[in-house]
Chains A and B, each alone.
Chain A
Amino acid sequence: MLRYIAVRLISAIPVVFGVTLAVFFMVRLVPGDPVDIMFGNQARPTPEQRAAMRKQLGLDLPIHKQYVKFISDALRGDLGRSFRSKRPVMQEILIRLPNTLKLTAASLAVAVVIGTVTGVLAATFKGSWIDNVSMVSAVLGVSIPGFWLGLMLILLFSVRLGWLPVSGTGTWKHLVLPAFTLGLLSSAILARLTRASMLEALSGDYVRTARAKGLREWWVVIRHALRNALIPIVTMLGLQIGGLLSGAFIIEAVFGYSGIGLLAVGALQTRDFPLIQGIVLMVSLIYVGVNLLVDIIYAAIDPRISYS
């Protein structure tokens, strides 16, 4: 187990290195002066501002030293300053990160509850109308654009019924619609996977044994089949979190929910490059970390997994 964790941690190192390299080159690959690119659409920078940016980017240094500087700055939490707000990029991100994490966690909860319950029901009643309805809704779930579903929910629950706020951040009421929108779409994939995984588990010998012992059917389904069906579901959760994180970019924009997604959309629209760079770096590192964690949890719940 420890060996597995160690190998998995080491294998993440080249990925993290690659991610930092990609983000570093993001600005430098564009034709033109990186200084101009970093200033994007902003009003023409003064010579002093340009000189400061040149120094910040370390453009007078050879390229490998520029990268070392980029990394050592980033490690000290210095990702440069946003042009729009003039505040440090790190600060901008850290203010909004908790909101995005809250949204991601809430939608993950919605997805897991709806996805596993639907999947288990569909598998238990395979071929029945419950199965058909759930699988048709699952296909619908992967086809409906989240931003459209979000708008339709706003139209119904905020505009027509007036139960929930149209947009904003702060109270739990602001979280309901975005979390539901994101979670519902994500639950579709989980439902299909849970169904497939449950069908496999339900045909297992241990399930037949449990039934033969005269255990109640729901006990067999939950305790014997679902426990074993959970393993592929947990792996999928890692991927789902990536989907939720990038889904949050769009959904936050729909609901005016102040997370890093909304921050990123604003940064893209104004071509606020230091901010874009910082967000891309942070979000992808979080994603790498989450996947690492999922793999470790995965090994912990399934003793068959090891690097041998």
Chain B
Amino acid sequence: MNADRQTMQRVDAKGALPLGAGAAPRSQRQIVWRRLRSNRLAMLGGVIVGTLILLAIFAPVLARYDPTEMRLSDQFLPPSLEHPFGTDDFGRDILTRILYGARISLRIGLVAVGIAAIVGSIIGMTAGYFGGWFDIISQRVIDVMLAFPDLLLALAIIAVLGPSLTNVMIAVGIGSVPTYARLMRGQVLSLKRKEYVEAARAIGAPTRRILFVHILPNALSPMIVLASLGIASSILSAAALSFIGMGAQPPTPEWGAMLSNGREFLREEWWIATFPGLAIAITVLGFNILGDGLRDALDPQSRD
């Protein structure tokens, strides 16, 4: 359907209406962008995510301290101008650690979603397009994976691989493969019966071309939405795993691990646990509302 719409719009653009200043946006991308821009909440999400990326890139420039160096003379300092978010039990500046933590959280989100989306798409595309025994077996494996409550699957994988930041990314990524595989399979199943795919097959286009040129680009929009929301949930799961000591190990400035460390000092030094938690919440919120906005923009019927 998307492709039909796209083709129609391309035809329109080439037709009567002149392109240029003041012309109504015509391409699919422009329409989506316009819808997204008119959604204030989604724009807020975009601003949060954009700011976060900038903070992560410029962390070494922005931070005034070293994220891991201990300064016992600065232990447990409450928030002040010198240390806006205070310092922890090792005298490390919490704001600095949060800035560096943004790099870790973004990496976790991207790597976990990358693993899930790539593996899931390959499985889903193969299963959906070719069907047969691969479809049957992969669907049964996915059924079994879905029989484990989300975090439990990641925990089981970490139990096997051992606790570390890299393993958390792998575990969270593998844990979300079923969702992407199911979605991609469904997309391919419906797209492969479209006329333009049958037309491509009829003129003898090779399978590779049909899959990557005709099917994949049209299956992408729901995947983009899922990936945006997936970054949010991956960051949350990974932080939870680090919180229980299964992820990033000290002194890595990972937000979940920082929060876990702050628990001990909750009674007096509340800032150690509070600010990393806020950082997680704001980041996840940003990706969530951006994802919701993308969904509405790509498929206006899904609203309400």
Contact = CB atoms under 8 A, between A and B. Distances in A.
A15 interface: yes
B288 A143 contact: yes
Contact of A280 (B152, B245, B281): B152
Interface stretch (A70-78, A106-114, A210-218, A264-272): A264-272
Contacts of B289: 139
A249 B148 CA distance: 13
Contact of B285 (A140, A254, A287): A140
Interface stretch (B67-75, B208-216, B265-273): B265-273
A155 interface: yes
B236 A151 contact: no
A294 interface: no
A148 B284 CA distance: 13
A159 B266 contact: yes
Dominant secondary structure at the A interface: helix
B145 to A, nearest CB: 8
Interface string A15-30: 1101101110011011
Dominant secondary structure at the B interface: helix
Contacts of A144: 281, 284
Interface residues of B, number: 46
Given A145-B277, A152-B277, A250-B240, A269 B143 contact: no
Nearest to B160: A30
A185 to B, nearest CB: 10
A247 B245 CA distance: 16
Given A26-B160, A151-B266, A268-B159, A19 B144 contact: yes
Contacts of B160: 26-27, 29-30
Contact of B274 (A152, A245, A250): A152
A280 B148 contact: yes
Contact of A247 (B148, B151, B232, B246): B151
Nearest to B163: A268
B304 interface: yes
A154 interface: yes
Taking each of A159, A243, A246, A288, which has the highest tally of chain B beta carbons within 10 Å of its own beta carbon?
A246
Interface of A: 14-16, 18-19, 21-23, 26-27, 29-30, 139-140, 142-148, 151-152, 154-155, 159, 196, 199, 242-243, 245-247, 249-250, 253-254, 264-265, 268-269, 271, 273, 276, 280, 283-284, 287-288
